């Protein structure tokens, strides 16, 4: 992250281990609080949403990117700039529908699951990184793009790769009032 040169050059980096452990503790506590996996997933998504609505302004302020003019530009921006800035990884993007509003981000490295091998048997349908889905959904909503974000494949569940699917929901009446 680059801060403007006028500020004092304090290094605001904290340990990655601390961040990963904090996330793990969060999920573990939620698992203790809720019995059903769906509840934990929903809670993680809500938390991610609150993070996303605030994170998007930080992203826009620091990266000074221009307004994206298409869904594929937006998906590229999320993968190549945002993921890189916040998690240090760059997922690859692929468009998975003819209508051009469904995209997949394929993560080969996910820092959040550094210390997790696989999910326990009683938590088979837990989406461990569902927070990320909420973050993306919240961030997109603040720039007036409604989207559904879910995990399509998860390495923790035995799939080959981790894949996040973003489906942009088209609202035709919003096009007219699109703020520039």
Look at residues 96, 78, 85, 91 and name the one whose alpha carbon lies nearest to residue 155: 91
Look at residues 93, 71, 66 and name the one whose alpha carbon lies nearest to residue 145: 71
CB of 135 to another protein, least distance (A): 14
CB of 98 to another protein, least distance (A): 26
CB of 103 to another protein, least distance (A): 19
In the DSSP assignment, the letter for residue 92 is E
CB of 139 to another protein, least distance (A): 9
Collect all residues with Cβ–Cβ distance below 8 Å to 174 and sequence separation of at least 6. 144
Q: Counting beta carbons within 10 angstroms of the beta carbon of residue 31, is it exposed (0 to 12), middle (13 to 18) or buried (19 or more)?
A: middle
Interface residues with another protein (CB under 8 A) are 3-4, 6, 53-54, 56-58, 60-62, 64, 67, 142-144, 179-180
User: Could you give the C-alpha distances from 139 to 23, 31, 53, 88, in angstroms and in order?
Assistant: 19, 26, 5, 18
For another protein, which is the closer residue by CB, 107 or 145?
Answer: 145
The three-class DSSP label of residue 165 is strand
CB of 130 to another protein, least distance (A): 20
For another protein, which is the closer residue by CB, 6 or 172?
Answer: 6
Collect all residues with Cβ–Cβ distance below 8 Å to 148 and sequence separation of at least 6. 137, 166, 167, 169
For another protein, which is the closer residue by CB, 6 or 120?
Answer: 6
For another protein, which is the closer residue by CB, 52 or 165?
Answer: 52
For another protein, which is the closer residue by CB, 52 or 91?
Answer: 52
């Amino acid at each position: 992250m680059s801060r403007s040169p006028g500020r004092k050059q304090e290094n605001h980096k904290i340990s990655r281990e601390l961040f990963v452990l904090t996330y793990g503790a969060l999920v573990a506590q939620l698992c203790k609080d809720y019995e059903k996996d769906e509840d934990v997933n929903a809670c993680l998504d809500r938390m991610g949403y609150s993070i996303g609505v605030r994170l998007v302004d930080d992203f826009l302020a620091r990266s000074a990117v221009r307004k994206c003019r298409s869904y594929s530009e937006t998906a590229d921006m999320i993968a190549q700039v945002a993921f890189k800035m916040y998690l240090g990884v760059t997922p690859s993007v692929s468009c998975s529908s003819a209508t051009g509003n469904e995209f997949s981000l394929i993560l080969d490295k996910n820092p959040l699951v550094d210390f997790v091998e696989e999910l326990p048997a009683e938590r088979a349908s837990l989406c461990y990184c569902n927070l990320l889905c909420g973050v993306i959904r919240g961030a997109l909503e603040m720039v007036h793009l409604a989207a559904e974000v879910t995990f399509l494949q998860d390495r923790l569940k035995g799939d080959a790769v981790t894949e996040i699917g973003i489906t942009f929901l088209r609202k035709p009446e919003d096009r007219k009032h699109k703020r520039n």
